[in-house]
Structure 1
Amino acid sequence: MMEKSSLTSFIGECNRMCPVDEIKMRIKEELVHPLEKVFKAGKLINDPDLMVKEYSRSAAGRHEIPTQDLRPSPVLLSTVEYLLGRVSVVEGRPWSEVYDFIFDRLRAVRQDMTIQEMEGQEATTLLEYIVRFYIYSGYRLCEEKFDRFDPKINDQHTQECLKQLLSLYTTCHFCPENRAEFESLYLIFNLGQAEALQHYYELPKDLREHKLVKRSYMLSVAYYFGNYINVLKCLKSPCFTRHPLVLCAFHRNLTQLQRRALKVMSHGYSSKALKYPVQHLADLLWFDSLSVCVTFCEVCGLQVKGDESVLFLKSSFSDPEKVQPVHISGIDSLLCQQSLGTLLLGKDKPFDLTSLRQSLDNIGLPQNQKIAFSKNLSDGKNYKPKSGRGRGRGRGLSSKEDNYARSEVQLVGKNQGQKWNSDSKNHEPCTKEDGTISDFKALNQYGSSNHTNISARATKEMWKMDTSCDQNAKRTQFYKEQEVNFTHECWEDELFTEEDMKVT
């Protein structure tokens, strides 16, 4: 049997986010994605520095993997931080398109990790970033149509990365500082699942005693035994509201919880003479409004009289085949309290193109492996790609498909917070007039029709980043200054303080 050391002979030699051969091929074939371009001189132009390796399936009959196309762990870390800290906050395009692009590029990152059999702290950090993105995306795009976002595929990739991450935790020889967060995410994402509950008892004792992990386990047990109201009450505690991504992971189970709770109530309150207040039911089961609650009840076969009371009958309840999930204003508000880059990376790290280029140039590879661009890079003359690349999610767009591109692409820097419209056509930040946010505290005030709205005015400022860099002999014309404008998003958000999230 071959030793493991002989099998793990692949070490990446590419010190860029995208291999040179792929850059040439995609520029020649006009497969550069609009998010890999910069706005200059009134139009979008290709920028090789912003191009990120796209995912491609292994070619049949291919026996060798070129190491010059593999990115080592430092380059992968810089690439993922660029995608989540910079591309994820791009303006001017639907976020579903941004998701498709990042989804494809992260898949290529995971492919490079698998080929190189990466382990250790770098691998765990990369998977932590990726899991956060999948969970956040699953919540943010939950109202999108199926042709623009497939929640099943997103959940499959989330599950794969979570299990791979937990497996690395058990084999690593250091103490990951974020392990409690992701153990909790695994329990909540797989709410009530026997496999996840069994995994809890396989954890070290100190981790089982961690407040967040222990409460996540108790919440999963409550869901398993059908104590749905207790589950919703526990989620309003500061232990969970301090971790909004945990609430995003729970959201995938919310529709099923509401359906099961209505089924139990249909059996328990089955009577033609009993009238159950709709407002109380909406507060109890986390429906944002009376209209949403009424629509959900009607889909389940329950009769609603005048938007005021629900008539529970055992015989009238029917399980709907599929119910479209909706955003919860309380979760929206918690997500708005920090920038998207901070939420996904777990740290406040404004991204600078100049620092990215310098960090990639100083990876520490041997000098003979450093990549130098030639002047014919942009037109791809006399170049034949080694192998065709697949065009899956996030593929490059042709020149005709790119005609719909906005006249200007603005990247967001340090944003105070972020909120989006639930309109599936464009996910752009909302203003105060777009809608009010009801907090979790109001969910506990049964019979109350007025939710408490707490406003916090965001500080208005302009933030610009200088992307110029010194000219030197190693850089070609594509390393010259790119005119990229950065602005600070400023709008009024209705946010909650920690005190407002406490359950009375």
Structure 2
Amino acid sequence: MERRGRGRNVSSSQSTRGRSNRFVSKPTSAATPKSSSGGATGTEKAQKDAVDNHSDVPAIVGTCPLMCPEGERAQRERLRDLAVFERLHGNPRQSSPDLAVKKFFRTTSNKQVEASDVRPLPVLEDTLNYLLNLFDSREYPFEVVHDFLFDRTRSIRQDLSMQNVVNDKVIHMYEKMVKFHIISLRKLRGCRSQNTSSTHYLNMEQLAKTLTSLFDLYEAHRHSNSTYENEAEFCSFYVLLHLGPNSQPMGESLSWWFSHLPSLLIKSKEMCFSRKILQFFRMGNYKRFLSTIAAEASYLQYCILEPYINQVRALAVSCINNGGYKLHPYPLAHLSKLLMMTESDLESLCRACGLDICTDEDGCNLLPTKQTTFCHPKDGFQSYRVLGLEEFER
């Protein structure tokens, strides 16, 4: 079969904490022994539910050799329904096989879909690599880039689902798509458009669905006593997504999920990190929370944790304000070290929380305690750097 779906191969190496090659995982084919206790659901059920549950009808074997079926491309050219990345020389009515990517369309059954409109796995791999190479494009605002990749990666998952494919390559693709949604969490926070909040919500929703499907794929393709090499990393993401007081992104309690997790995963360094972070956050131990992130967090874990860092800092400021002795204002220089931020950023944070700052006779900034004006900023916190994690801030 001629495969004209355009894609670029990505380097197979990735630093644990660095940002380069962010969508690359360790090879998923490598598996390690796991404990037999606390296993997850059976392989048959996981195979059935692996992706969006299209297996109630015979799976389709896709035959489309392009990133976008020719019929869809022609129709969208007529309707001027081409994303900016799909336009040939900027023409809103003309695309090409190297630019057009199949859109997501809702279907109720595989019976409604022709095999010629479904892309086989090799084409889907190339298409995903092509899309992810657009992720850091600076030609358009990130909201535009995200909107395109959000829809087209969803279409990739739909084609995989309709073909009921479960193997190492599919797992690797799902890992990449989970990473796309996680990095997007952070990048969307830096966007200032009016629709960012709804976009962020939809991104979080699809992150949860993609991660759920990935866990089902792990289980469906699992050998009798094995865990995937990257499984602990993605399990840690699941835990960190539960950090907020009302967070339950996948519809089940975290305690129930822990009870069904293999002990080998529970004991992994990635899961130990996420469990410590969860514990410190719920205890309000801001010093351990911040120092553990600075010492151990990967870039992807930081993308999830970033909004909670300023929440914890504000909690620390509130505790010191309420618990301090009124006649002894707290030195900002000392507090800024505890909160791993510059003194000027800490002063800005305190003022955003409604607190005044004073200066002593030596010119040192102090936080007067027992102020009754503390409040959380209505529009949220601005972005403050974490000292020690400058590599993630670039």
| TM exceeding 0.5 | yes
Percentage of matched positions with identical amino acids: 26
Residues 88 and 17 of structure 1: CA distance in aligned 2, closer, same or farther (over 3 Å): same
Residues 50 and 136 of structure 1: CA distance in aligned 2, closer, same or farther (over 3 Å): same
Aligned position for 1:265: 320
The one-letter amino acid of 1:309's match is L
C-alpha distance after superposition, 1:423-467 (max 9, x if no partner): xxxxxxxxxxxxxxxxxxxxxxxxxxxxxxxxxxxxxxxxxxxxx
Tell me how far apart the structure 2 counterparts of residues 180 and 120 of structure 1 sit (CA, whole Å).
18
Tell me if the contact between 1:189 and 1:252 (Cα under 8 Å) persists in the aligned partners: no
Following superposition, the deviation at residue 20 of structure 1 comes to 1.0
Tell me how far apart the structure 2 counterparts of residues 219 and 69 of structure 1 sit (CA, whole Å).
45
Aligned position for 2:121: 73
Tell me how far apart the structure 1 counterparts of residues 206 and 384 of structure 2 sit (CA, whole Å).
22
Among 161, 164, 180, the alignment partner of 2:232 is 180
Secondary structure in 2 aligned to 1:141?
A: helix
Following superposition, the deviation at residue 325 of structure 1 comes to 4.4
Tell me how far apart the structure 1 counterparts of residues 56 and 210 of structure 2 sit (CA, whole Å).
26
Among 267, 270, 285, the alignment partner of 1:209 is 267
Task: Please give the TM-score of this superposition, normalised by the length of structure 2.
Answer: 0.72
Q: How many pairs does the alignment contain?
A: 326
Following superposition, the deviation at residue 197 of structure 1 comes to 5.0
Tell me if the contact between 1:136 and 1:245 (Cα under 8 Å) persists in the aligned partners: yes
Question: 1:302-341 residue pairs with structure 2 within 5 A?
Answer: 302-306=355-359, 308-313=365-370, 315-326=372-383, 328=385, 333-335=390-392
Rg larger in 1 or in 2?
A: 1
Question: 1:308-387 residue pairs with structure 2 within 5 A?
Answer: 308-313=365-370, 315-326=372-383, 328=385, 333-335=390-392
Residues 296 and 329 of structure 1: CA distance in aligned 2, closer, same or farther (over 3 Å): closer
Tell me how far apart the structure 2 counterparts of residues 7 and 121 of structure 1 sit (CA, whole Å).
23
Deviating beyond 6 angstroms after TM superposition, the runs of 4 or more aligned structure 1 residues are: 42-45
- What 5-or-longer segments of structure 1 have no aligned partner? 337-418, 420-504
Aligned position for 2:35: none
C-alpha distance after superposition, 1:4-33 (max 9, x if no partner): 766233332222111111110122222222
C-alpha distance after superposition, 1:259-312 (max 9, x if no partner): 33333223222x43221222333332244x444322322232222225812223
Following superposition, the deviation at residue 135 of structure 1 comes to 1.1
Tell me how far apart the structure 1 counterparts of residues 111 and 219 of structure 2 sit (CA, whole Å).
33
Aligned position for 2:190: 143
Residues 215 and 6 of structure 1: CA distance in aligned 2, closer, same or farther (over 3 Å): closer
Aligned position for 2:331: 277
Residues 335 and 166 of structure 1: CA distance in aligned 2, closer, same or farther (over 3 Å): same
Secondary structure in 2 aligned to 1:190?
A: coil
Question: 1:42-441 residue pairs with structure 2 within 5 A?
Answer: 46-58=95-107, 64-84=112-132, 86-147=133-194, 149-150=196-197, 151-174=200-223, 175-191=227-243, 195-196=253-254, 198-237=256-295, 239-240=296-297, 243-269=298-324, 271-287=325-341, 289-306=342-359, 308-313=365-370, 315-326=372-383, 328=385, 333-335=390-392, 419=394
Tell me if the contact between 1:255 and 1:323 (Cα under 8 Å) persists in the aligned partners: no
When the two chains are superposed, the root-mean-square deviation of aligned CA atoms in Å is 3.2
Residues 65 and 246 of structure 1: CA distance in aligned 2, closer, same or farther (over 3 Å): same
Tell me how far apart the structure 1 counterparts of residues 57 and 110 of structure 2 sit (CA, whole Å).
17
Following superposition, the deviation at residue 130 of structure 1 comes to 1.1
Secondary structure in 1 aligned to 2:357?
A: strand
Tell me how far apart the structure 1 counterparts of residues 388 and 193 of structure 2 sit (CA, whole Å).
22
> Mean Cα displacement is larger for which, 89-98 or 13-22?
89-98
Tell me if the contact between 1:10 and 1:115 (Cα under 8 Å) persists in the aligned partners: yes
Residues 9 and 331 of structure 1: CA distance in aligned 2, closer, same or farther (over 3 Å): farther
C-alpha distance after superposition, 1:314-349 (max 9, x if no partner): 63322344414426366874348xxxxxxxxxxxxx
Secondary structure in 2 aligned to 1:297?
A: helix
C-alpha distance after superposition, 1:206-238 (max 9, x if no partner): 22221222122122122122212211111122x
Following superposition, the deviation at residue 79 of structure 1 comes to 1.2
Tell me how far apart the structure 2 counterparts of residues 230 and 332 of structure 1 sit (CA, whole Å).
15
The one-letter amino acid of 1:316's match is T
Tell me if the contact between 1:142 and 1:327 (Cα under 8 Å) persists in the aligned partners: no
Following superposition, the deviation at residue 170 of structure 1 comes to 3.1
Tell me if the contact between 2:67 and 2:97 (Cα under 8 Å) persists in the aligned partners: no
C-alpha distance after superposition, 1:150-182 (max 9, x if no partner): 322222222222233223323332442211211
Residues 62 and 127 of structure 1: CA distance in aligned 2, closer, same or farther (over 3 Å): closer
